[in-house]
């Protein structure tokens, strides 16, 4: 068997091409060398078909062997990654090896986000193109592998070219498939709902298929396009695990299964539900990209790989590596009830406490005074603002604040001039009452003229007002998928083309306004995925701003996504979503694990609270380099019954750390609680300071403790903490006193 082997710094990936031209997956795991084709176990298996050419050799079956890109029709009866039919509607493919080549550099994907090389940290990146062919159909399927040795990541995508004479119908083209010759894995996935997203769930894989995904038009609040396959014994610090992330923001599917022989298959890609992509002769289809990584040292290490990947090879733009301005957003402060003057007052108060950016949320356009009208009418409501947008921006800049604006370009209200002029631009199936959500409809972004029109409306505003930040929202799930373009029969492609339209819009907007900071949003975290992060380097993590719920949401989010991508704000109490009352400090400590901002009228706080806000902003700014460059460690699991949630940022050279602790539960006469640290250097001595020394009854600032002790025993929490209190510890290596900062 001919083999192809890919290496990253710590991993090896091997494929094998059988004499019949079938491509098998041989190995993905810790770095290894040699031919691994002996791993294939050839046995005569009942009811597992054999290729025509090997019919007398009943030991060769695609149904029982690990396959690199499983397709329906080749005798592999497990769920396929690829399913195609011809012009007559006949299903079945026979993909065989045609050629391969290894090229320097990284492939790109037309119209879709893709991991890119970071020129500031050169890596010896290569692309493997492996071409498979179905001679009967004239289908050429190319598997792409982007190899990032230093980053320890392999990216994947697939293209399908129609070299035949008839139209081909693509029903399933997953981006990546991974077959393992053994079972006994858990799938870690991130489920949720609006205002409670990305809660980690760990499910043992048993016989059958565990499917997660979305056909809501966005990647969704309900499931996230990132999963981990881990051994049951794998923990944060120990054991084998594989991560798979899809850079896509629309309908997706992930299938994880254990087959009849106890083998495991993990696949992810575009959802095949309602996919019917008619591929005309000469045309090529491109699947979205998936990124995969392996860790032999548990989940923390896997997260570190994905954090780096996303921070430096997915996020782009001016703000990629710099501290984002501390912002204040008026949504929870005013909802729709604001005037220009009210906004300036909120901003003035915020500026005096150290806030740097005022974001004007929903309600500044058309006749919008609630969520029932005006989406699509992107002209400024000067009557409500009392001035033009340019004047508002000028006033805010005048008080030293940057200015940000909320938009929701993909939507239209029935009560809007746009809808009255172009009712056919909305997704509505003729003769069927459309499903409404927030009383709004979705614009057909699969149509270029629709995207062009909205884009022109946006540029009209942004060219005339000095805007520093855009929050791009999307507030409903999509159904009634229909396009009114005459002659377009191909409804099974619309949701894919819709996402391409959104990406086109964002690509144009970010290119035209390179100095604007973009934040994604979809009712909070309904489109929190690596595809969106390619355009917007941060995403509003959830509409739930309650600190305690947020800790759980951010905990799940942290498995794949770095803290610099996580939009997080301090809001008022009682919290508007849960009614819970938490201390201001705790809300700040929680928001510091993200981009940090405020979402309340700071003018309503008393003098002591305002002082606290000033201190928190100063602390955030001072700790930002450590939080941005540092490695993030989950120290406890806030979803299990535990006294405290805790997480830490540790500098790459392990000389500094910031530990944040929030008390989740308190009981009478409670036992002492120790927070065991991770990621420190065992031999180093650390000086520990509680950042608010009034609360520090634990270790005295002068005490130095070894990394080893802190990781094995931990920091004792001081007595007297009550439920929802928080405490932050700053650790600095003793020998490096220059770094020690008293806070
Ligand atoms: C949903 C967002 O998540 C909120 O922050 C806010 O922007 C509203 N939409 C405005 O309609």
Structure tokens at 627: 């939080």
pLDDT in tens, 304-363: 999 999 999 999 999 999 999 999 999 999 999 999 999 999 999 999 999 999 999 999
Contact 313, 198 (CB under 8 A): no
Element (H, E) at 294: strand 289-295
- The pLDDT, as a whole number, for residue 738 is 43
543 lines ligand 1 (CB under 6 A): yes
Please tell me which residue, 735 or 704, carries the higher pLDDT value: 704
Both tokens of 77, joined, read 């009866």
**Ligand 1 centroid to 523 CA: how many Å?**
6
Question: At residue 728, what are phi and psi to the nearest 5 degrees?
Answer: -120, 140
Q: What's the pLDDT at 247?
A: 99
* Sign of the dihedral through C-alpha 342, 348, 351, 357: positive
Closest ligand 1 atom, residue 522 Cα = 3
Mean per-residue pLDDT, 207-236: 98
Continuous segment of H or E residues that includes residue 530:
helix 530-533
Give tens-digit pLDDT for 421-467. Answer: 999 999 999 999 999 999 999 999 999 999 999 999 999 999 999 99
Given pLDDT bands bounded at 50, 70 and 90, which one contains residue 593? very high
475 lines ligand 1 (CB under 6 A): yes
> pLDDT at residue 473 above 50?
yes
How many Cβ atoms from other residues are within 10 Å of residue 230's Cβ?
22
Residue that has been written with the tokens 């790109």 in this structure:
108
Please count the other Cβ atoms lying within 10 Å of the Cβ belonging to residue 291: 30
Give 490's pLDDT tier (boundaries 50, 70, 90).
Answer: confident
Give residue 742's pLDDT. 44
Band of pLDDT at residue 56, cut at 50, 70 and 90: confident
- Out of 88-97, 117-126, 552-561, pick the least confident: 117-126
Bridge-based pairing state of the strands 569-571 and 566-567: unpaired
pLDDT value of residue 491? 86
What are the Cα distances from residue 224, in Å, to 231, 568, 715? 21, 18, 34
Mutate to test the pocket of ligand 1, among 409, 469, 521, 538 (most ligand atoms within 8 A of CB): 521
Least Cα distance to 634 among 644, 619, 622 occurs for: 644
Phi, psi of 173 (to 5 degrees): -140, 80
pLDDT one-digit tens code per residue, 688-724: 998 864 344 444 546 799 999 999 999 999 999 999 9
Q: pLDDT by residue (tens digit) across 128-143?
A: 999 999 999 999 999 9
Mutate to test the pocket of ligand 1, among 472, 475, 576 (most ligand atoms within 8 A of CB): 475
Write the DSSP string, 427-450: ---TTSPPPPBTTEEEB-TTSHHH
Provide the CA 54 distance to its chain's centre, in angstroms. Answer: 44
Q: Which pLDDT belongs to residue 520?
A: 98
For the Cβ of 251 lying below 6 angstroms from any atom of ligand 1, the answer is no
Query: Which pairing describes strands 139-148 and 327-329: parallel, antiparallel, or unpaired?
Result: unpaired
500-530: pLDDT as tens digits: 999 999 999 999 999 999 999 999 999 999 9
Atom of ligand 1 nearest to the CA of 524: 3
Contact 78, 162 (CB under 8 A): no
Contact 365 CB / ligand 1 (< 6 Å): no
The reported pLDDT for the residue numbered 485 is 86
Q: How far is the CA of 362 from the centre of ligand 1 (A)?
A: 7
d(CA 362, CA 366) in angstroms, rounded, equals: 11
pLDDT at 683 over 50: yes
The catalytic residues are 529, 609
For residue 488, name the pLDDT band (cuts at 50, 70, 90).
low
Q: How far is the CA of 337 from the centre of ligand 1 (A)?
A: 14
Tokens of 476: 């409903």
Side-chain half-sphere exposure of 227, counting CA atoms within 13 A: 30
Q: Does residue 676 surpass a pLDDT of 80?
A: yes
Q: Is 406 in the pocket of ligand 1 (CB under 6 A)?
A: yes
Give pTM, 2 decimals.
Answer: 0.97
Check pLDDT > 80 for residue 538. yes
Model confidence at 667: pLDDT above 60: yes
Residue in the structure block whose two tokens are 């009209």 = 460
* pLDDT tens digits, 140-187: 999 999 999 999 999 999 999 999 999 999 999 999 999 999 999 999
3-class secondary structure, 457: helix
How many CA atoms lie less than 13 Å away from 175 in the CB half-sphere? 29
- pLDDT at position 703 is 72
Distance 528 CA to ligand 1 centre (A): 14
**Number of Cα atoms under 13 Å in the Cβ half of residue 578:** 14
* Percent over 70 (pLDDT), the chain: 97
Q: What is the mean pLDDT of the chain?
A: 96
pLDDT of residue 736: 55
Lowest mean pLDDT among 88-97, 560-569, 685-694, 733-742: 733-742
Q: What percent of the chain has pLDDT over 90?
A: 94
Between CA 199 and CA 76, with CA 275 as vertex, the angle to 5 degrees is 85
Q: Which of 543, 571, 597 to mutate to test the pocket of ligand 1 (most atoms within 8 A of CB)?
A: 543
Terminal C-alpha separation, the chain: 63
Q: Residue 740 above 90 pLDDT?
A: no
Q: CB of 340 closer than 6 A to ligand 1?
A: no
pLDDT over 60 (residue 540)? yes
């Amino acid at each position: 068997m001919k083999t192809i082997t890919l290496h990253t710094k710590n991993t090896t990936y091997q494929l094998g091409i059988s004499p019949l031209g079938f491509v098998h997956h041989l190995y993905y795991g810790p770095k290894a060398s040699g031919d691994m084709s002996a791993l294939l176990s050839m046995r005569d298996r009942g009811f597992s078909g054999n290729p025509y050419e090997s019919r007398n050799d009943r030991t060769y079956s695609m149904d029982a062997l690990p396959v690199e890109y499983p397709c329906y029709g080749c005798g592999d009866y497990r769920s396929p990654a690829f399913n195609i039919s011809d012009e007559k509607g006949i299903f079945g493919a026979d993909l065989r090896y045609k050629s391969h080549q290894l090229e320097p550099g990284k492939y790109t994907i037309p119209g879709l986000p893709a991991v890119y090389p970071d020129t500031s940290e050169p890596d010896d990146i290569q692309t493997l193109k492996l071409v498979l062919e179905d001679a009967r159909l004239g289908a050429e399927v190319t598997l792409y592998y982007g190899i990032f040795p230093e980053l320890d990541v392999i990216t994947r995508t697939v293209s399908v070219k129609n070299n035949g004479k008839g139209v081909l119908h693509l029903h399933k083209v997953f981006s990546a498939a991974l077959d393992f010759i053994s079972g006994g894995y858990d799938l870690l996935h991130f489920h949720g709902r609006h205002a409670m997203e990305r809660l980690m769930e760990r499910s043992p894989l048993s016989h059958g298929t565990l499917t997660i995904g979305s056909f809501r038009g966005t990647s969704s609040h309900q499931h996230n396009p990132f999963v981990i396959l881990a051994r049951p014994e794998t923990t944060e610090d120990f054991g084998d695990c594989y991560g798979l992330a899809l850079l896509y923001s629309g309908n997706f599917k992930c299938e994880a299964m254990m087959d009849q022989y106890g083998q495991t298959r993990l696949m992810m890609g575009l959802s095949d539900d309602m996919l019917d992509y008619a591929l005309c002769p000469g045309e090529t289809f491109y699947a979205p990209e998936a990124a995969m990584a392996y860790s032999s040292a548990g989940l923390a290490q896997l997260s570190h790989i994905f954090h780096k990947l996303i921070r430096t090879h997915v996020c782009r733009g001016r703000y990629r590596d710099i501290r984002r301005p501390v912002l204040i957003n008026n949504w929870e402060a005013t909802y729709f009830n604001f005037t220009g003057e009210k906004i300036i007052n909120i901003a003035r108060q915020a500026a005096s406490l150290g806030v740097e950016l005022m974001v004007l949320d929903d309600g500044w356009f058309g006749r919008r005074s609630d969520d029932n009208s005006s989406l699509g009418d992107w002209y400024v409501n000067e009557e409500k603002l009392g001035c033009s947008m340019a004047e508002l921006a000028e006033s805010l800049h005048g008080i030293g604040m940057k200015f940000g604006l909320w938009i929701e370009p993909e939507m239209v209200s029935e009560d809007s001039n746009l809808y009255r002029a172009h009712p056919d631009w909305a997704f509505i199936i003729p003769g069927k009452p459309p499903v409404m959500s927030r009383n709004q409809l979705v614009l057909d972004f699969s149509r270029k003229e629709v995207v062009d029109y909205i884009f022109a409306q946006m540029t009209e505003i942004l060219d005339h007002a000095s805007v520093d930040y855009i929050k791009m929202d999307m507030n409903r799930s999509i159904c009634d998928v229909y396009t009114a373009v005459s002659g377009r029969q191909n409804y099974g492609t619309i949701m894919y083309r819709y996402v391409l339209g959104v990406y086109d819009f964002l690509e144009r907007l970010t290119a035209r306004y390179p100095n604007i900071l973009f934040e994604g949003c979809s009712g909070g975290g309904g489109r929190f995925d690596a595809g969106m992060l390619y355009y917007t380097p941060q995403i509003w993590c959830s509409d739930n701003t309650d600190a305690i719920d947020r800790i759980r949401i951010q905990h799940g989010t942290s498995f794949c996504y770095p803290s610099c991508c996580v939009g997080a704000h301090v809001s008022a109490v009682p919290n508007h979503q849960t009614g819970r009352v938490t201390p201001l400090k705790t809300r700040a400590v929680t928001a510091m694990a993200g981009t940090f901002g405020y979402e309340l009228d700071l003018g309503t706080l008393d003098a002591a609270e305002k002082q606290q806000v000033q201190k928190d902003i100063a602390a955030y700014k001072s700790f930002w380099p450590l939080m941005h460059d540092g490695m993030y460690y989950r120290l406890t699991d806030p979803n299990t019954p535990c006294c405290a949630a805790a997480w830490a940022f540790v500098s790459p050279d392990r000389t500094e750390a910031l530990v944040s602790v929030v008390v989740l539960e308190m009981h009478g006469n409670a036992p002492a609680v120790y927070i065991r640290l991770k990621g420190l250097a065992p031999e180093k001595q650390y000086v520990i300071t509680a950042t608010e020394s009034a609360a520090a009854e634990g270790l005295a600032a002068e005490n130095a403790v070894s990394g080893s002790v802190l990781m094995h025993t931990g920091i004792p929490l001081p007595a007297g903490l009550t439920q929802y209190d928080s405490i932050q510890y700053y650790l600095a290596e003793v020998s490096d006193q220059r770094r020690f900062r008293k806070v």
